[in-house]
Amino acid sequence: MRARPPLETTEGQSHPSRWISLSRACNLLGVNESTLRRWADAGHVRSFRTPGGHRRFAEDDLRALMAGQGRPGPASYGSLGHLALMRIRRRLQRGKKQQAHWYTGVPEGDRERLRSLGQRLVSLVSEYLSRGSRRSRLMEEARQIGHQYGREFADKRLPVRDAVEAFIFFRKGLDDAAIELAHRGSLSAEEAVEVWELMAGLADQILLAMADAYEEVRQPQVAPAG
């Protein structure tokens, strides 16, 4: 005899259309098991236990999280972008007299375009961490932005070192924001490692895309055979 799930609904809330296993729920969201258990314990995802002790999760709640309609608790990654932007701006203002070549070497008019790209990239990182089902598309968009950054630097004949220095500056802002977010949300060690690995993988692809842009610009033009 199968256990009936508890009627854990509030006023105006419908019963889940389907209950799915822990492994399937994790695959759907792109998170590890401890993260999903924590969200369920906090009440962000409805769940129940079978007589055998296995958890089942409300698919409707999971899809609401994927669509950005739910709140995965205090460790939500949505605030990472805001924290990172604040840290990056603060570091630029604080070090104005000793700004790096990558910043001073870019004309003021072009800096605004780079800022817009940077803001989108930071926002994209937040989405990438929280939306497992869309990570492949977000990864591709991150590569495109990295490629645009590389073209901006290469077209102005700035050295590769300047491009790498700009990337490190951006990466440091994200790292610091992620550390602060982990402390605020009381992430477990496993969850913190997961965040770090996801960010590192995305950052690696951005850096490679910047390098590809340099290669494309600097490849010698081959004269057509006469």
pLDDT digits (tens, 9 = 90+) for 114-161: 888 888 888 888 778 776 667 888 899 999 999 999 998 898 888 898
The 10s digit of each residue's pLDDT in 52-94 is: 888 999 888 888 777 655 544 444 565 666 667 777 777 666 6
pLDDT value of position 206: 94
pLDDT value of position 193: 80
Which one of 44, 73, 102 terminates a domain? 73
CATH number of the domain encompassing residue 58: 1.10.1660.10
In a domain, 81, yes or no: yes
Q: Are residues 61 and 40 in the same domain?
A: yes
Q: Are residues 52 and 128 in the same domain?
A: no
Cα(214)–Cα(73) distance, rounded to whole angstroms? 41
In a domain, 14, yes or no: yes
Which tokens hold the place of 178? 């992620």
What is the domain count for the chain?
A: 2
pLDDT at 216 over 80: yes
Q: Are residues 63 and 93 in the same domain?
A: no
pLDDT value of position 223: 52
Domain range enclosing 105? 77-218
pLDDT value of position 79: 63
